[in-house]
Amino acid sequence: MDLKDRRNKHLGNADKFFYQEPLHIVKGEDVWLESSSGERYLDVYNNVAHIGHSNPIVVEAIAAQAATLNTNTRYIHENIIELAEEITATFNNELEICYFCCSGSEANDLALQIARAHTGQNGCLVTENAYHGNTTAVFQMSPEDCPPEKKEEWIGLVGGPKKYLPTKKNIYLKALKPQKKLKIMGRHQQPL
């Protein structure tokens, strides 16, 4: 069995590959990704390695921490507090709290929970083609993946920015008038 079949057999086939002929990437360095056959690709897409692939400072910090302690934040520890202090020092005073998450899905899911707790409301607006991750809630909010028949009533759809596309009708302009959407959702008794 080739790698593609082995992956589908044991990891399932729900996650699509990039490209019809999937790339077999074995190494990342700075802005480069390297394939098993030694080809180097300039990575202008990857959204995880924010400060470069295999950044030596990050690698060293991860290795040192993994060799010291890996547990949860219900214990007290100065590192995470210092990080939160450093981050919030770069904001204005209204933003003082950090919630550290392990994934984009978790961050978006938590943001939804916070918004619901704060407003006491339920709904949200998302842009067409958006992807928010794979928890139950944010999957439903992701038109890119969630089929329209599964879209819940509490989710309102607005057009995304597409000024760069030569479309006759610029949906982005409609998206700038959310009041209309709010009224439509109101009729469905799903207040925002």
Q: Contact between 105 and ligand PLP (CB under 6 A)?
A: yes
Q: Toward ligand PLP, which CB reaches closer, 98 or 110? A: 110
**CA-to-CA distance for 114 and 108, rounded, in angstroms?**
10
Phi-psi category of residue 52: left, alpha or beta, with phi > 0 → left and psi -120 to 50 → alpha: left
Q: Toward ligand PLP, which CB reaches closer, 46 or 119? A: 46
Least distance from ligand PLP to the Cβ atom of residue 76, Å = 27
Q: Residues 42 to 61: which contact ligand PLP by CB under 6 A?
A: 47
User: 32, 110, 127, 131: which one contacts ligand PLP (CB under 6 A)?
Assistant: 131
**Count of residues touching ligand PLP (by CB under 6 A):** 8
Q: Contact between 136 and ligand PLP (CB under 6 A)?
A: no
Give the contacts of 151 (CB within 8 A, at least 6 positions apart).
140, 143, 157
DSSP codes, 48-91:
S-TT-BT-HHHHHHHHHHHTT----TTS--HHHHHHHHHHHTTS
Q: Contact between 113 and ligand PLP (CB under 6 A)?
A: no
Q: Under the rule (CB under 6 A), what is the footprint of ligand PLP? A: 47, 103-105, 108, 131-133
